[in-house]
Amino acid sequence: MSLDHWYIYGAGGLGIETMDILQSAIRRGLQKPHHCAFIVDHPTATEVLGFPVVAVGDHVPGAKVTIAVGEPFARKALLEKVEGLGLVLQSIFSPDAFISEYAEIADGVIVAPHVSIQATAKIGRNVAVNTASILGHDIVVGENCVVSSMVNLGGGTQVGTLSYLGMGALVKERVQIGHSSIVGMGSVVHIDIPDEVIALGNPARVVRRNEDKKVFK
């Protein structure tokens, strides 16, 4: 077993961004893993960004892992998978993010550069918070969510598990977004959004059910 190995699960766009965040933390002395690599189910390359790409099954047991895929339901499936593989779920925080010491952040969370997470915010396991997003005081983000770049969550906002917030979405304070829902890019949310729907626009309105549970078609 080795906690000196650290895998980024996924070698796509979010994967390379997450590896870059990890390397930034290492360079500044905030993290010191011995060996970094990508891990994927079916490798199509031997390395990405100069780091090895390892197939599931060839990994080091007991290593750290951070899940870096942008689909909430895929994140959930991979979380269940890595737990079965005996890997240790680990968060990665950019040195250029602000995270209040009074915030509560669970394992496996990615916090990208220029994110601001305010006091008493609560972030569940395996959440990805992308570049320059603002998460206000007392917000709650459930497990396996994806918060895209430049999202702004007003104080007291609650986001249910497995939901996806598109780039630049604005959510009014104390609004609740249900589980397994998608809020589209640039949407402005003034009212509560129910479970398992897709909401778009300014003001955001429900346009249909989120039947296939996929963001990227």
Splitting the chain (217 residues) into consecutive groups of 10 residues, what average pLDDT does each group show? 81 98 92 87 94 94 95 98 93 98 98 99 99 99 99 98 99 98 98 98 98 89
Rounded CA separation 124/131 (Å) = 18
Structure tokens at 163: 């939901």
Number of domains in the chain: 2
Respond yes or no: is residue 137 known to be catalytic: yes
Is residue 217 included in any domain, yes or no? no
Q: What is the CATH number of the domain that holds 119?
A: 2.160.10.10
How would DSSP label each residue in 43-99? -S-SEETTEEEEETTSSPTT-EEEE--S-HHHHHHHHHHHHHHT-EE--EE-TTSEE
Give the residue numbers spanning the domain of 49.
Answer: 5-90
Specify whether 45 is located in the same domain as 126: no
Show which of 90, 112, 144 is a domain's final residue. Answer: 90
pLDDT of residue 75: 98
pLDDT of residue 98: 98
Specify whether 109 is located in the same domain as 58: no
Residues 5, 59, 137, 179: which is the catalytic one? Answer: 137
Tens-digit pLDDT profile for residues 73-105: 999 999 999 999 999 999 999 999 999 999 999
How would DSSP label each residue in 92-113? EE-TTSEE-TT-EE-TT-EE-T
Tens-digit pLDDT profile for residues 132-156: 999 999 999 999 999 999 999 999 9
Specify whether 117 is located in the same domain as 66: no
